[in-house]
Structure formats: C-alpha cells, structure tokens
Amino acid sequence: MSLRLPNPPLRAPDAETGAGSAGKRYGIAIVGNDKIIDWLLPFLESYRDTNSSLPIYLIPYDDNVAMTRKAADIYGATYIAEEPVEIDRLSHELYPGFFNNNRRRLRKLQALALPLDEVAYVDVDVILFRDFTPAFGKLEEGKTEFIVASPSFEYVYNERREKYPFLKDVLLFNDGFWVTSNKYLKLSDFIDTMRDDAAIFHDVRKRGQLFAQPLVNFVTHRRGLKIELLPNVVENASHESFYKAPGVTFRDGKPVDYEGKEIYFAHWAGATALPSRGVFDPAWTEYSRAAWARFKK
C-alpha cells in the first residue's frame, strides 16, 4: 500500500522525557466513523488537551463519515482518504462469513502504512490523560519492537495454542493501544503470515466477535517481535487503562493506579453504553460536552 500523504511535522527530542532522536516522525492513528461519533469527539477533545503537538491520522471505518470528516477538520487530523485495498482483501479472506462491519476492524492496520517512523495506534473508545511523547523513541531492535499497555489473557487464543511452541510464554495483549515502527512490523507482514499460517491462526484464535485482536497478537508472536509493556519502557507508567480498574485515584487532575503509577489513558473496552458513573466517567463527560460545543459552533 502506498499512501500519498503530507509528511507530518518533525518532533524534536525532549531532553526530560527521552522522547527520541531529532528528526524522527512520531504520530497517533485512530479509526472512526459517524456511528461512533459520540466516542470519537471526546477522544479528539482529550487529544487536543494532552497531545496536540503530535500529528494525528484518522482512518475511516467505512463511508459513513460526514461528521467524522468535519471532526477531523476541527481537530487538525489528517483524514486518510485512500481505500485500504490490501487490508480489506485480507479481512475478506480471513473472515468470509462475516459482515463488513466486523471485518473492517482490521482497518487499524493501516496505521502501519503511515509516513511515520513510529506510530501509536489508539482505539477511540478512549480518552487520553497524558502526553504520549515519553512512549516514543523507546523502540530498539531485538529488545523492544512493539509496545502495548495492557495484557489480555482471555480474549486472544483458545486452548489449542498449547500445540504450538512459538505461542508458549508469549505476552497476550489488548490491541486497543500499541506503539511500533514499520521497521519492525509492516502491513506486508500480516499478508505474508496469513498466506503461510492462516490454518494455524484459525486453529488458535479466540472466537466471539474478536477479529483484529487475535490477528495482531498472532502476527507479532509468529514473527517473534520483542513485545514490551508500557511500564517497562516509560518510567512510572501504569499498565492500567481499563475503565473499571479498581483503586484509581486522581492526583493534580490526572489518574493514578493503586500503586500511584501514572495512567496514560482510559479505555472503555467492551462497554455497552456511554460512560456515566465510573471513576473515569466525569472526565469523559466533560470532554464530550466540550467537544460537542466545539463541533456545533
């Protein structure tokens, strides 16, 4: 896939956070459409509040994007207009019996084709609380090639993974947040891995409306990427992001976990309704109010 996009601005290194080398291009990628505009707008408002110095790219989930495109303009996001032909072809090959609204979850893989040296992909049922700059510049070949925030023990593989030695003792992760570089992981890696090992993938993948998460785990594991949790690469970062996390408190307006470690974002993974009464929900509600006011101007 070749994306004809303007180059994002160069981020200079931050001496205090160790953000990386001068001249490196870092950015955030998200996927959205009008169906989830109630999630997309608070996310973008939180991005404006905490990470506006980083370029952001908005990948359309489908063609239902009239409000989404307006939101991209308001918040200065680069809207990716080019159709992800290779990704959609892969999704049809892997999940031929499912509706497009499930298969399109693989469109997050377009983040790997952006003109960035390192990209942070983030689901939009999220609000950001802290600057992501410290998460960049930490990738290192053979040591840290793919950074995730949270483990996911239940929603990746089934019990048949035990048949395959390369899946033994691997870190299973939530794919709602990851940082990598196409130096270590490319879209072609997904295509090549599924060409060679689709039968193994289908044997081990967890069912139950899971599409992208088992795939991203499988490809990174099959290709032997060195996966690290965010707390192991960013000082005092928490691995916590789940919206129902216990023991969360706020310090100077920012959340910390039960150990006092800094929570970078809250993720409403699996939520069936918009936030209302949880520990992170007042912050989400305020971002939502501000975003809709900005959107309706």
Q: Which whole number is the average pLDDT over 57-84?
A: 96
pTM for this predicted structure:
0.90
Read off the pLDDT of residues 189-243 as tens digits, 9 standing for 90 and up: 999 999 999 999 999 998 877 789 999 999 999 999 999 999 999 999 999 999 9
- Whether 123 and 146 have beta carbons less than 8 Å apart is answered as no
Q: What is the pLDDT of residue 6?
A: 39
Residue-level pLDDT at 100: 62
DSSP H helical segments within 205-251, as ranges? 212-222
Domain boundaries, the chain: 26-229
Phi/psi at 276 (5° precision)? -145, -50
Question: Looking at the DSSP assignment, which residues form a beta bridge with residue 157?
Answer: 205
Nearest-10 crossing angle of helices 37-50, 66-75: 10
pLDDT of residue 98: 64
Listed in sequence order, the residues at least 6 apart from 272 whose beta carbon sits closer than 8 Å to its beta carbon are none
> DSSP label at 158?
-
Distance of CA 283 to the CA centre of its chain: 20
Distance CA 130, CA 185 (A): 26
Phi, psi (degrees; rounded to nearest 5) at 122: -140, 130
C-alpha atoms less than 13 angstroms from C-alpha of 252 in its C-beta half-sphere? 4
Q: Tell me the mean pLDDT in the region 246-251.
A: 96
6-21 burial, b at 16+ Cβ within 10 Å, e below that, comes to eebeebebeeeeebbe
What's the mean pLDDT in 110-121?
A: 97
Pick the CATH number of 26-229 from 3.40.50.620, 3.40.50.150, 3.90.550.10, 3.50.40.10: 3.90.550.10
Confidence grade of residue 96 (pLDDT, cut at 50, 70, 90) = confident
Maximal CA-CA distance, the chain: 57
pLDDT at 271: 87
Q: What is the pLDDT of residue 16?
A: 34
Per-residue pLDDT of 5-41, as tens digits, reads 334 443 433 333 334 456 899 999 999 999 999 999 9
Among candidates 295, 113, 293, 147, which has minimal Cα distance to 233? 147
Report the run of H or E that residue 15 belongs to, with start and end. none
Q: What is the mean pLDDT of residues 246-257?
A: 96
Checking if the pLDDT of 274 tops 50, the result is yes
Poorest-pLDDT segment among 95-99, 182-186, 235-239? 95-99
